[in-house]
Amino acid sequence: MKKHLPQLDGLRGIAVLIVLLGHVAVFAVGLGISRLGPLPPLGVDLFFVLSGFLITNVLLEAQNAQHYYLNFYARRALRIWPLYTILLVCIFGIANRRNAYLTFDDAKIRWQYFALFVQNIVYPKPALLGPLALAVTWSVAVEEQFYFIWPVLVRSLPRKRLGWILLVPVIAAPIARYWLPALGVDPYINPLCRFDGMAIGGLAALWIFIRRPTDAVLNRAALWIMLVAVAGIAGASTFRLEKLLGKTFISAAFCGLLIAALSSKPVISILSRAWLRYIGKISYGIYLIHLPTAALIAALLPGDQWPARAGRACIILIATVVLATISWYLVESPILRLKRFFAIAEPQAPARSKTAPTLAMDDSVRQTA
């Protein structure tokens, strides 16, 4: 029987809060504290690891099922496309040239590239993606590009070979981060430079799915992974290799946290708080809505003095959660009910020990942001 893991909703909640609070703190529409610049990307790193883990688990469950491709891609489309399409219509069709923070040259920035999820390839630098509300969609594009490739490999290859395949982007991403800047490509948004996070999450899912480790084994693995990751981050910083290896080791650290969230009672307790799980549930809406919301509020409440910035930041946070809630109940949740027509097969892994965690996850954790 499939089991809902509420702590993974909480983990997603942490990821989107890092992005939301970081952007409101960093950007001029909020507090404008630019020295916190490295903070928001950490939330995206966590999203990538979590997405790779969840999607790999879903694909492994359905690896030999009928309608494998139809069910997977239909469910992804129902999750991603509706709100994403609304965002593109609002920015390209309504907000452009009506709001200073959402204005761009639509002769250079074409909606077709965003609709096809190739904007991070066509426009090789974040500054070329247009206003911030459009620029953040690069991460959605990276995930869609991963979804385009990975299901085919999972369907086609034996499970034991999939681990070797996942090691390829883990090794290749740092090389790409070194090589691509010489070609004028920003490694921050390029898929070749970012697939390592999802691959690391996928490796964790594959290991758990095949080995069925007990909670004790998972706890030890989580501890060792985080220790190695922290050592790697420190080493990369010491030898000035953080631009090449930093993202990989950060993703590994988040992978350790994710594994701990499956087995450690204190971690599960923290991540299962109701308010945090709710933030995780509406995280996709928060991610897509928060910057357009910030742009509108900044236009209505201008001012560079600290009290004005602080008040505006609070309003942005509240309005984002309210609008994401409305989006969830009026747009996303009704559409997600259609997933019942594209049911994922029951897990096909062998019987597991009673002490091992149940990892078959329902739709509430199969989301992206």
pLDDT at 187 (0 to 100): 96
| Helix 306-327 / helix 6-26 crossing angle, nearest 10 deg | 150
Q: How many domains does the chain have?
A: 1
User: Does residue 321 form part of some domain?
Assistant: yes
Residue 348's pLDDT band (boundaries 50, 70, 90)? very low
User: Does residue 251 form part of some domain?
Assistant: yes
User: Does residue 2 form part of some domain?
Assistant: no
User: Does residue 113 form part of some domain?
Assistant: yes
Q: Is the pLDDT of residue 74 over 50?
A: yes
Contact 74, 220 (CB under 8 A): no
User: Does residue 108 form part of some domain?
Assistant: yes
User: Does residue 297 form part of some domain?
Assistant: yes
CA–CA separation, 7 and 60 (whole Å): 21
pLDDT at 268 (0 to 100): 97
**CA dihedral over 34, 35, 40, 45, signed as positive or negative:** positive
pLDDT at 3 (0 to 100): 67
Give residue 362's identity as a one-letter amino acid code: D
pLDDT at 157 (0 to 100): 96
Q: Which domain holds residue 83?
A: 7-31+38-365
- Tokens 């385009």 belong to residue: 148
- Tokens 């290799």 belong to residue: 241
Q: Among 74, 79, 76, 17, which residue's Cα sits nearest to residue 43?
A: 17
- Tokens 């909606």 belong to residue: 111
CA–CA separation, 86 and 88 (whole Å): 5
Q: If you average pLDDT over residues 172-187, what whole number do you get?
A: 96
User: Terminus-to-terminus CA distance in the chain, angstroms?
Assistant: 27
Q: What is the pLDDT of residues 235-254, one digit of tens each?
A: 999 999 999 999 999 999 99
b or e along 249-278 (b: 16 or more beta carbons within 10 Å of the residue's beta carbon)? bbbbbbbbbbbbbbbbeebbeebbeeebbb
Query: Which tokens is 79 given?
Result: 């999750």
Query: Which tokens is 96 given?
Result: 């452009």
User: Does residue 19 form part of some domain?
Assistant: yes
Q: What is the pLDDT of residues 260-318, one digit of tens each?
A: 999 999 999 999 999 999 999 999 999 999 999 999 999 999 999 999 999 999 999 99
Q: Is the pLDDT of residue 219 over 80?
A: yes
Residue 37's pLDDT band (boundaries 50, 70, 90)? low
Q: What DSSP string runs through 59-113?
A: HHHTTT-TTHHHHHHHHHHHHHHHHHHHHHIIIIIIITTTSGGG---TTTS-HHH
pLDDT at 369 (0 to 100): 37
Question: DSSP class of residue 344?
Answer: P
b or e along 107-123 (b: 16 or more beta carbons within 10 Å of the residue's beta carbon)? eebeeebbeebebbbeb
User: Does residue 1 form part of some domain?
Assistant: no
